[in-house]
Structure 1
Amino acid sequence: MYLPSTNAPPTDFSVRRAPTFVDVVAERATLSGGTAYTFVSPDRDERPSLTFPELDARARSVGAMLAARGLTGERVLVLLPPGLDYVAAFLGCLYAGTVAVPLYPPSGGKYSARHLAVLADSRPAAALVPGSELARAAELAEELRAPGLQLISVDGDLPAADDWRRPRIDGDSVAFLQYTSGSTGTPRGVRVTHRNLVVNSAQIQERFGSGPDTGVVSWLPPYHDMGLIGGILQPVYAGAPATLLAPTAFITRPLLWLELISELGASISGGPNFAYDLCVDRIPQERLAGLDLSRWQVAFNGAEPVRARTLERFAARMAPLGFRREAFFPCYGLAEATLMVSGRRVGDEDIAHTFAADSLGPGRLPEPAADGLPVVDCGPVAVDLDVTVADAEHGRACAPGAVGEIWVAGENVADGYWGKPAADGTFGARLTGEERTYLRTGDYGFVRDGHLYVTGRSKDLIVVRGRNHYPQDLETTALAAHDTLRRGAAAFAVEQDGREEICLVLETPHGHVAETADEVIAAVRAALVREHAVAPGSVVLVRPGGIPRTTSGKIQRSATRAALATGTIKVVRRSDTGGPQPSGTPPQAAAAATAAASAVLTAAAPGRQPDPDALRAVVTDLAARRLGVSVDRTAPLVGQGLDSLAAVELQAAVAQTTGVELSLAELLAGAAVDDLTLDTPAAPVARPTPAAPGEHLPLTTNQQAMVFMEQQHPGTSALHISLAVRLLADVDPDALHRTFQRLVDRHPVLRTALRWADGEPYQTVLPHLDVDFTVEDGHTLGKDALAARLERACDGTPFVLDEGRVLRALLLRRSDGDILSLTLHHVAADMWSMALLTDELARLYAAERGEGPALPEPPEAAYLSLADRQRRLLESPRGERLWEYWKAELDGCEPVLELPADRPRPPCRATAATR
């Protein structure tokens, strides 16, 4: 069946006419001075950002640097961790006219077989690495016998943006190589051109409805097509502000993703199917209280099979938070088509339909059945894209509505793989009698009512948590893991608890089974984690000849899977990981581990380290709960089912339960529980409790700095944070006064006094404090008088800190719109806190007027417990290492930094601004 796009063209933005993505970014810099990207740290405290003009300037600087090194036209590896440097470096490659090659940075400083395979295939001339990785990268260059590989850090000084000169690139120039994730034996880098990128960006923008007024949140890895194109490049194409966080931050704490969507009111965010499962399984219901997901308009789901059950579970759990089922955006795509092929229209209600299982085979017409298999609707085909459902064996289109292989044609489709333009017939396929060429996706599906439904894969590709794994790669790694494995192996996907997992069936020789079975299985698990960053769900050992083969001796993976499912294959030994147990079901194991940790920590005398052996027992319990197996403390965890995802989750669970920070590098390098380095806390970890009125509390390190500055310049306005906004709607002054009082009542830090005892500062929470809120008539104030009044509101009166006065508000009534001036002392807030408070103020005001829902109570002691957390960190072994690091790093630094200025440095520091 032939399915042309029936969508109307998107709005004709000037960026859509851009010939290259370099022109897209440059055009955005002229259209908007707003924020392009913000990168959020896992603790949400650090949020560096880049505006669109700053992004363009950074990319120009990187591009000028690469061009000066003679790299235009060459391949350049981008081996940087997620963050703003990564974004600038990738775009800088495009600005230099190089071919970027995004690749995961090494885990724990170790390069895997995948790194070596991609490097050997792409033959890069240079690699962009963090400054701290230059030495290790040099070793890699020697291993590859590539002494000419330039190793470049983007951490240091860069040329001026004005030094950049546009390279000779156009729409047909290759922008980057997208290596399909998972391949190690025969890596395939998709040649994505600038035209592919611009066209698919327009297609995604049309379907998302993204623009300057829509916020994007992305935790997706920037090395894969969904994370790079959907999470980073699509926002800059659409002019949408994007908030980014590291994938490990999401895996460690899935709640962070939802918190940011709620806090920022983001419209667009998503991920692979497993991300939605992770939120349901890992976040207890009570932790969701207070989140607002009502502004989430596009919750895209792709990169792995989209499961209807996952969407229904997530929608049911998040409905009380305002999440709507219509926000789900199941989509279909692949790297060979740049990213997206089809996606549902925003607002469509039906997510999936059920069909009789026996009607979903190739060439069959799917029959609706109430008790059938659910197949997710992946929506209409993207703009300017054609899809044909083909009978590939006979080279013809299938009957309308029948199941067949999905073939795609359009300007977003790449022309081939790097160095393999005609690889395996994937590109350039033709229907009999037609001239048009298609991309063979290898996926089966059908079209119903103009929408695409994907039913499965015709190739054996395994997708686990959004990453592709080729079975032949997994089999090769498994057979090399142990000396007794020399015969056959079959790797395929199986479903465990609604998730796709890897099953490995291995033939073992006669006489080497019983005594080595556990050793073999552990070695196979460890090898897959080491080389592919994934642990198999099942490892099955069978007798020689137990794996089905063709008459020519080729292993039949699908037949092996069927034989294992029906029990017709003779199993010698089988090892299954139970998988992670959801946070909320049942809680006995979690409660037991938490109780054990509490007993271990509280048993230690004040200032003494807890018993290491008891701590290891707690770690063992938590690992067993995460892996779903009984854990041997003396055996490597990677051999017992620990992969990169499980390692991050175990690290987070141990830190949350005991305060101990495990090393990810140690976990993934093959350490047993008994081998782990335990940085134990210097004091028992206790849950923060609300401060009692009058209690003397220590200051945080930041507050100590503020007090020091206050002593140097008593009453200085340099520590005042202010904003003034014009209120366009009518304001009820009494309701606004009550709202400010409610704000102070909700947040202890806004009624906390700073006082002194025995020469040391401390803070104490006041039981009640009347808010400093003033209403004045500003109708007669001219422009200059208004500016002077607002300046006095900010700087005119010092805060009385020992009375808890850290906030004041002024409402000026005016005919052209009332003006609200808000000022806080830096000892209680920063500019980000100000933004959060004003957002909360607006919602509290709406609730006060009966125009919005009541807000839940904020977490108790959230900020006031920070001082204790800082103290424990500084007193721990990790704190000692940090102290030694910074002493060495700053050793020899000049006490006064001499910078060129337009006038001499004054003898005393001043805070007044100059022109």
Structure 2
Amino acid sequence: MEMPYDTFLRTSAWLGRKIPEDATVVIAADDPMPALLAFFGALWTGGRPLILPSPHAAGGMEQFQGQVRRTLGVVQGEVVLALQDGIAVESPGVPVVPLPADADGYDTLAPGDLPESAGFGGDTVAFLQATSASTGDPKLIGITHANVCANLTTIERRLGRNGGERLVTWLPLYHDMGLVGMALLGAFHGWPLYVMKPIEFVMRPHTWIDALSRYRGTLIAAPTFGYDHVRRKVAPDDVPGCDLSALRTAVVGAEPIRFDTLDGFHRRFAPAGLRAGALVCGYGMAETTLAAALAEVDAPPRYVLVDPVGVETGAPVRLLGEGVLGGPPPEGPGIAVFSCGPPLDGMTAALIDEDGRPVEGDAVLGEITLTGPNIAAGYLDPDTGSPRPFPDGVLRTGDLGFRHRGELFVLERRKHVIIRNGRNHLASLLEERVAGILGRPVQEVMVLDADIYDPGSEIVAVVEHCPARFELDEARRRALRTLDLPVDSLHLARRRVIPRTTSGKKRYHTARRRLADGTLRADTTVALAGAR
């Protein structure tokens, strides 16, 4: 489906006439265009749209029904469901606006019939977003008109663009990177936007690269998973003659950024014209509308090598070296951690220790806190249906990081830190080590403590998509047991078993629960505690 922006706005305004004013509009669609039309249709009426994963994306009708039920339990006032044809949900008393999949199912207002204004603007809530739920159940966040305008303006300013962008995306619209970072960024600045279905990318990742080449895409964004999926699944014969020389910016974020992923993606497509300086690392979350920090554009991503042993908040991080993507590969025991650059204009990033005291100095670890115009209005209070502001306007992210030469480096979620004998061990850095020992992609490895309340509980490594004849020889067993935090048991699965959020982040708390109740189905479990 192809539609100029002018036609798109008039079509969405026509759809908006079917939506009550000032309502919460819960949207679910398998195709991007109906979801976007409903989203903008709700904005025309002064409503608050919320895009949820469709039953297919949510994992089935039961999961989708649960999402809708939880949403209805939080929002207040009038609620409308906008559902693509073929999607149904049990919600007595809640009106449904059908969304045809085909453009012929919509009408268009004449230019003179457009509403004079859309909504209230300013500090009123423009739309709702769901958190990624990597450390708990998802929450709904209120994003104001001022939030999104500030973020889209400062992103464009950091990118240093003066027009002429062409965006190509497969990202789901229920994720902040897909909605704000691609769809709204393109609409806000009037940049052409080429949208694929997420499932098409997952099943045939070469189609993203083919579209980038065919449409001369200049700006893309994806979590680490997306770039890793391409570099592992796309063969040269899949995209013969592809040309990525037009690609100016490929933003990477939403997950820990892995050296092997960026290096492999760059090396794979450098012959097709991809520059190392096109890859730009960023940091943000739904609570910051989207982006809070972005690295320098047109410069190869910079990284430092971090000693993963014994990192403590308020204490210096031991740096073992540094480098840039495209240069000599890192050597030695350190883990590469990429710079996410300085905060965007108007944003302030500070660090605190476990007692909330400021952390100062270069390369000193602390929890990242953020303030500025991008910070959302707050999580929705189920008692009032209104956003509850963050205390003093300060967002405690729960992420651990440090500053180095004025740039922000992000290490780990606080809740993913494993504490043993008074020392902190970061799960993501342990996963790098375990993946290296086993020769498996780090995205398919999870390391966690079986019980966060028991300091003596097992350290478990889960490996998915593991070959049936995977060889766990004595050298690998010994290496796993001689890590700074030894692995006690290894769970090997031939299929996908690591629980993830709808945006692909690993859900450690869910994995811990499934280990406890036996529903994390591994094909082989290997006890390593006796190995030496």
What SS class does the counterpart of residue 440 from structure 1 fall into?
A: strand
* Partner SS state of residue 409, structure 2: strand
CA–CA separation in structure 2 for the residues paired with 1:331 and 1:644: 19
Contact kept in structure 2, 1:359 and 1:367, CA below 8 Å: no
* Structure 1 residue runs without a partner (length 5+): 1-47, 142-146, 430-435, 463-491, 506-545, 550-554, 566-574, 582-627, 631-636, 646-915
SS of 1:387's partner is strand
Q: What is the alpha-carbon distance in structure 2 between the residues aligned to residue 501 and residue 193 of structure 1?
A: 37
Aligned-partner Cα distance in 2 for 1:131–1:401: 53
Corresponding residue for 1:445?
Answer: 401
2:234 to 276, 283, 290: 283
Q: Give the counterpart of 2:96 among 143, 148, 151.
A: 151
Cα distance in structure 1, aligned partners of 2:114 and 2:384? 40
Contact 1:117 1:184 in 2 (8 A): no
| 1:272-306 Cα deviation digits (max 9, x unpaired) | 10111111111123334311111111011111111
Aligned equivalents of 1:225, 1:387: Cα separation in 2: 20
Deviations 1:427-470, CA, capped at 9 Å, x for gaps: 644xxxxxx641111101111111110011113499xxxxxxxx
Which of residues 85, 91, 100 is equivalent to 1:131?
A: 85
1:185 deviation in Å? 7.4
Please show how residues 242-321 of structure 1 align to structure 2 within 5 Å.
Answer: 242-321=193-272
- Hey, what does 1:203 align to over in structure 2? 154
Write the distance in 1 (CA, Å) between the matches of 2:54 and 2:417: 24
Q: Is the 8 A contact 2:82 2:97 kept in 1?
A: yes
Any idea what SS the aligned residue of 2:38 has?
Answer: helix
C-alpha deviations, 1:867-903, integer Å up to 9, x for none? xxxxxxxxxxxxxxxxxxxxxxxxxxxxxxxxxxxxx
1:403 and 2:365 matched: yes
Write the distance in 2 (CA, Å) between the matches of 1:100 and 1:131.
Answer: 18
Match for residue 106 of structure 1? Answer: 55
Given the alignment of the two structures, is residue 57 of structure 1 paired with residue 10 of structure 2, yes or no?
yes
The Cα of 1:202 is off from its aligned counterpart by 0.6
Distance 1:298 1:643 in 2: 27
Aligned with 2:21 (options 30, 49, 72): 72
Structure 2 length-normalised TM: 0.75
What pairs up with 1:688-727 in 2 under 5 angstroms?
none
Distance 1:184 1:307 in 2: 20
Q: Structure 1's 209 and 421: CA in aligned 2 closer, same or farther, altered over 3 A? A: farther
Alpha-carbon RMSD: 3.4
Separation (CA, whole Å) in 2 of partners of 1:358 and 1:422: 45
Shift of 1:643: 9.6
**Given that residues 72 and 167 in structure 1 are in contact (C-alpha distance below 8 angstroms), is that contact kept between their aligned partners in structure 2?**
no
- Percent identity reads 27
Give 3-state SS (helix, strand or coil) of 1:65's partner. coil
Relative to 1, partners in 2 of residues 1:246 and 1:559: Cα closer, same or farther, differing over 3 Å? farther
| Change beyond 3 A, Cα 1:303–1:253 | same
User: Cα offset for 1:353?
Assistant: 1.5
- The one-letter code sitting in structure 2 at the alignment partner of 1:414 is A
How far apart are the structure 2 equivalents of 1:385 and 1:300? Answer: 19
> Given the superposition, is the C-alpha separation of residues 90 and 120 from structure 1 closer, same or farther in structure 2, using an over 3 Å criterion?
same
- Name the residue aligned to 2:303: 352
1:75 maps to amino acid: T
The amino acid across from 1:499 in the alignment is V
Residue from 423, 434, 442 that aligns with 1:499 = 442
1:216 corresponds to? 167
Q: CA deviation at 1:209?
A: 3.2
Aligned-residue offset at 1:380: 1.4
Q: Is the 8 A contact 2:450 2:460 kept in 1?
A: no
1:374 aligns with 2:336: yes
Q: Give, in whole Å, the separation in 2 of the partners of 1:109 and 1:389.
A: 40
Q: Deviations over 1:549-580 (max 9, x none)?
A: 6xxxxx35x8646x336xxxxxxxxx853348
Check the 8 A contact 1:73/1:97 in 2, yes or no: yes
Change (3 A) 1:183 1:278: closer
Q: State which of 353, 370, 385 in structure 2 corresponds to 1:391.
A: 353
Aligned twin of 1:89 = 38
Paired AA for residue 442 in structure 2: R
User: Per the alignment, do residues 245 and 548 of structure 1 end up closer, same or farther by CA in structure 2, a change over 3 Å counting?
Assistant: closer
| Other structure's SS at 1:122 match | coil
Higher relative contact order (CA 8 A, sep 6+): 2
Deviation for aligned residue 1:167: 5.2
Normalised by the size of structure 1, how large is the TM-score? 0.45
Sort the Cα spacing of 1:382 and 1:129 in 2 relative to 1 into closer, same or farther, 3 A: same
More helix by share: 1
Match of 1:679 in 2: none
> Following the alignment from structure 1 to structure 2, what is the Cα–Cα distance between the partners of residues 357 and 247?
34
- The structure-2 alpha-carbon separation of the partners of 1:211 and 1:102, relative to structure 1 and needing over 3 Å to count, comes to farther
Matches within 5 A, 1:26-37: none
Q: Distance in 2 between matches of 1:335 and 1:643?
A: 17
What is the distance in 2 between the residues matched to 1:357 and 1:641?
23
- Residue-by-residue CA offset, 1:64-121 (whole Å, 9 max, x unaligned): 221xxxx222211011223222211111111110111110111287141334323332
Contact 2:281 2:301 (8 Å CA) reproduced: no
Distance verdict in 2 for CA 1:443–1:641, change over 3 Å: closer
The alpha carbon displacement at 1:175 in A equals 1.0
Contact 2:284 2:293 in 1 (8 A): yes
> Contact 2:134–2:501 at 8 Å: present in 1 too?
no
Aligned amino acid, residue 127 of structure 1: L
The match for 1:172 is 123
Alignment match of 1:564 (pick from 442, 445, 460):
460
Structure-2 change in CA distance of 1:171 and 1:254 (3 Å): same
Q: Distance in 1 between matches of 2:501 and 2:355?
A: 40
1: distance between equivalents of 2:167 and 2:248? 10
Residue identity opposite 2:173 in structure 1:
P
CA distance in 2, matches of 1:503, 1:351: 26
- Which of 575, 578, 582 matches 2:465? 578
Maintained 8 Å contact 1:408/1:439: yes
C-alpha separation between the residues in 2 aligned to 1:116 and 1:502? 33
How far is 1:500 from its partner? 3.9
CA distance in 2, matches of 1:183, 1:449: 30
Residue 206 of structure 1 aligns to a residue whose secondary structure is helix
- Count how many residue pairs are aligned between Structure 1 and Structure 2: 441
* Partner amino acid, structure 2, of 1:100: P
2:134–2:500 CA contact under 8 A, matched in 1:
no
Q: Quote the Cα distance in structure 1 between the aligned partners of 2:257 and 2:384.
A: 30
CA distance in 2: counterparts of 1:228 and 1:284, whole angstroms: 29
Query: Contact 1:78–1:101 at 8 Å: present in 2 too?
Result: yes
Amino acid at match of 1:74: A
TM-aligned CA deviation for residue 314 of structure 1: 1.1
> For residues 377 and 279 of structure 1, do their structure 2 counterparts lie closer, same or farther at Cα, with a shift above 3 Å needed?
same
Residue in 1 aligned with 2:410?
454
* Residue 127 of structure 1, CA deviation: 0.4
1:64 maps to amino acid: R
- In the alignment, structure 2 segments of 5+ residues that lack a partner are 322-331, 419-426, 469-491, 503-532
Alignment of 1:404-483 (within 5 A): 404-419=366-381, 428-429=390-391, 437-460=393-416
Query: CA offsets per residue over residues 571-606 of structure 1, 9 Å max, x none?
Result: xxxx8533489xxxxxxxxxxxxxxxxxxxxxxxxx
Give the letter aligned to residue 438 of structure 1. V
Rounded to whole Å, the distance in 1 between the matches of 2:383 and 2:501 is 34
Note the alpha carbon deviations across 1:767-789, whole angstroms, 9 max, x for none: xxxxxxxxxxxxxxxxxxxxxxx
Identify if the C-alpha distance between structure 1 residues 157 and 274 changes in structure 2 by more than 3 Å, giving closer, same or farther: closer
Q: Mapping of 1:466-545 within 5 angstroms?
A: 495=431, 496=435, 497-501=440-444
Measured in 1, the distance between the counterparts of 2:499 and 2:124 equals 42
What secondary structure sits across from 1:411 in the alignment?
coil
